[in-house]
Amino acid sequence: MNCEVCQLKELDVEHFEIREVLRCILHTILFHRALGLVRPKDVDLELFEITYVQCGDAELERKVDEKIDQFIDRVEKHPNKKTQICISLYEVKNKQATWFTNKVERHHWEYWYINLNVAQHPKGHSSKSHSSKVVVDPEDTAAEARRARRAALETSLRDVLFQIIRFVNEKKDHVPSIQNLDGMLFPYEITISSSSDSAFGMDMFKRMLQTGHPTMLS
Amino acid sequence: MDLGNYGKNKPVTFGQVLNRFLLKTLQIILGSRIPSTLPHGWNGEVKNSDKWYNLVLGHRFATMDDLCSWTRTLTEPMVIDIILVRKSKSFSIDMFKDVILERWIICFESQKSMMTCEICGVSCKKTYKKLIILLRSVYSILRLLPAYQAFRKLSSLQKNCGFDIKYNVCSVSGAFSEPQESMKGYSFVPVEAAQGRFGISVCYREDLSDFNMDGFVLHPLEIISDYVDSPSPSSNSNKSSSTIRKVSRDAKQDSGFPNFLYSLRFPYFGSSRISTKSSLIVDSFGDSDFSCPFIVDDTDPLDGQASLKLDGTNSAEVSLKSQDAAVGAVIRLLRNAPPLQQDPHCYNKLEKEDGAASESKLCKPRKTSDGLEELKLYRNMKDVLLAKNAALRCIGKI
């Protein structure tokens, strides 16, 4: 079976925007891959005029938020590195343990790479910029620049959502059968990686080809 | 809903897969655009029919059950128009006419003599999986298109909103009354099946800023008792004249598709204008028959508009001596004409303005004398038009 990879368009975000942006993107991907019975839930973003769709599953929401927290921690600890979040979907090929190994073989059939370029601000400064009551820069030009940046990010986020929709429509043959689907969603994992150089993505891809599944980088 | 587990005593046929695909698509679109379809007091009960394509939606609306057997022909496309309709006459004349916000076209192109009773096999189940993905993306994209904001505004303001959103479902895709450059298109990748190809596409109005929907909120009338300044009579008449000229111009300049014909070519569901195709087959899952004759809308959006003259007077008297008046008479005749098809099983359902369905009524059979009277009227109209035409030719020769 083929393995398809989707590198989503990179987004420039402020620290306080990470959670909303990641929730939107992660849930949109998962909604399109939750081919079991779903009662969709519409969610409005607070920072942008965008509505995205969740699967309406509390456990899934909890797991996604957990991963987002890990991502934010990673960004704060390594502000100079580019941090990437990846959703991979797989099939479990061998559930039975053997004499020599308990390893469960996973065959990944799809990878989604979400690339956020987080603006480097001190934590205290970014929280101030989130508050509408604290005037950081009284000049109109600075406020106008923020509005323009926010509008550009909204447009880019919308582009990413369209990119997801285009990808899931163009690539369908590699999706496994839903006959034996256990639950709502195919088995998946969300991994967070960071690298200090531009070869980061290529490292991930090479590792994927060699081992068939990504490993967590420390 | 897993095809393998659905009604273990009832094997699923390809015809059901197709029919339910069309229904589910319709449900997804209308549920994201028409506030009146939102459930009132829905208790969350999920029927088996809700589980098709593993997408449970809570939306119910009166015409849904009637449309269950929509595609008896199955190969005809289903065209869904989402239309912005003004509710009050107190707004700017610029916002006067109905506007198509989106046109969705859902179709199935059969590649061979399709057997709708063909039991779903492995190939069909693969198709079903792909259709699930397709419908997921349709659901998502409906929230990203501009019309979604209009839907949300209407949902939140409800009766205080100066506009409404209606829908129209038919199998004819007519011309837009709007300039094509204002519309943008998006086509989903078709899903190929052994029996044919499923396709969904949408034309949508990209920019809704012209409609100034924030200004559509209705306000109660206020009498300003201490108003000091008042415009001069001359400025008033100039404004009304220019307004009237604009109305007349707009009424004439609909690009090749006058509004009065709109109701003839676009049968309406879910609004005061209803018409459907006839002789439909009962769906095997208990959905009822629904066949309706073609009914012309009896509300002419040009009422009171096209008849305004430049001097501001309303020419309510239409003289048959003028060619325009003769055309107007023909239009009124067509508007008031009874249904073209007289199916004894047909009925039409009229909806009240609040969207609730009213009682059905049966069409009365027509007599020969009715037909003869109509024929006489048509002959008179024809004579008037020919006489006028001859008169104009004579004038031209002088």
Percent of chain B at pLDDT > 70 equals 46
* Structure confidence by residue, pLDDT tens digits, B250-275: 333 333 333 332 333 333 333 333 23
* Structure confidence by residue, pLDDT tens digits, B209-236: 777 666 555 555 455 556 555 444 444 4
Residue A196 reports pLDDT greater than 80: no
pTM recorded for the entire structure: 0.65
User: What is d(CA B211, CA B147) in angstroms, rounded to the nearest whole number?
Assistant: 12
Residue A130 lies in a domain: no
Residue A59 sits in a domain whose CATH number is 3.30.900
Minimal CA separation from B61 to chain A, in Å: 18
Residue A190 lies in a domain: yes
**Across residues A206-210, what is the average pLDDT?**
55
Residue-level length of chain A: 218
Tell me, what's the pLDDT at A44? 96
CB-based contact A172 B130, cutoff 8 Å:
yes
Pairing between β-strand B196-205 and β-strand B183-187 as defined by DSSP bridges? antiparallel
Tell me, what's the pLDDT at A1? 62
A201 or B19: which leads in pLDDT: B19
Tell me, what's the pLDDT at B266? 33
User: Using a CB-CB distance cutoff of 8 angstroms, which residues of chain A are in contact with residue B58?
Assistant: 39
CB-based contact A37 B56, cutoff 8 Å:
yes
Residue B165 reports pLDDT greater than 50: yes
ipTM above 0.90, yes or no: no
- Provide the number of structural domains found in chain A: 1
Tell me, what's the pLDDT at B186? 95
Task: Name the CA radius of gyration of chain B, rounded.
Answer: 25
| C-alpha closest to that of B162 among B99, B89, B81 | B89
Minimal CA separation from B238 to chain A, in Å: 41
| Shortest CA distance from A56: residue in chain B | B56
Q: Does A175 contact B at CB distance below 8 Å?
A: yes
Percent of chain B at pLDDT > 90 equals 19
Q: Which of A34, A37, A162 sits opposite B144 (nearest CB)?
A: A162
Residues 8-37 of A with CB under 8 A from B: 28, 31-32, 34-37
Contact A188, A91 (CB under 8 A): no
Tell me, what's the pLDDT at B83? 92
User: What is d(CA B170, CA B185) in angstroms, rounded to the nearest whole number?
Assistant: 19
Residue A65 lies in a domain: yes
Residue type, A163: Q
Contact B259, B305 (CB under 8 A): no
Residue A127 lies in a domain: no
Paired strand residues for B170: B79
| C-alpha closest to that of B25 among B63, B61, B52, B65 | B52
Residue A216 lies in a domain: no
Residue B176 reports pLDDT greater than 80: no
DSSP B67: G
DSSP A117: E
Tell me, what's the pLDDT at A140? 81
DSSP B210: G
User: What is d(CA B159, CA B156) in angstroms, rounded to the nearest whole number?
Assistant: 9
CA atoms within 13 A on the CB side of B253: 7
CB-based contact A175 B143, cutoff 8 Å:
no
Residue A164 lies in a domain: yes
In order of their start, the domains of chain B are 14-37+45-211 (3.30.900.10)
CA angle A111, A116, A122 (to 5 degrees): 145
Compute the Cα dihedral for B264, B268, B274, B275 and give only its sign: positive
What is the helix, strand, coil percentage profile of chain A, to 5? 40, 25, 35
User: Using a CB-CB distance cutoff of 8 angstroms, which residues of chain A are in contact with residue B214?
Assistant: none
C-beta atoms surrounding B32 within 10 Å: 23
* Structure confidence by residue, pLDDT tens digits, B86-102: 876 555 545 557 889 99
Contact B260, B302 (CB under 8 A): yes
The residue segments making up the domain with residue A106 are: 4-120+139-210
Tell me, what's the pLDDT at A3? 92
| C-alpha closest to that of B79 among B67, B88, B96 | B67
User: Using a CB-CB distance cutoff of 8 angstroms, which residues of chain B are in contact with residue A31?
Assistant: 136, 140
Tell me, what's the pLDDT at B392? 73
Q: Which of B51, B54, B143 sits opposite A35 (nearest CB)?
A: B54
Tell me, what's the pLDDT at B236? 43
Residues 46-105 of A with CB under 8 A from B: 49-53
Contact B267, B170 (CB under 8 A): yes
| Shortest CA distance from B188: residue in chain A | A169
Minimal CA separation from A66 to chain B, in Å: 24
Residue type, A11: L
Minimal CA separation from A174 to chain B, in Å: 11
Listed ranges A125-129, A190-194, B14-18, B201-205; the one with the highest mean pLDDT: B201-205
User: What is d(CA B377, CA B116) in angstroms, rounded to the nearest whole number?
Assistant: 46
Residue B340 reports pLDDT greater than 90: no
CB-based contact B133 A31, cutoff 8 Å:
no
**Across residues A109-128, what is the average pLDDT?**
75
CB-based contact B141 A179, cutoff 8 Å:
no
Contact A3, A111 (CB under 8 A): yes
Compute φ and ψ for A139, nearest 5 degrees. Answer: -75, 140
Residue A60 reports pLDDT greater than 70: yes
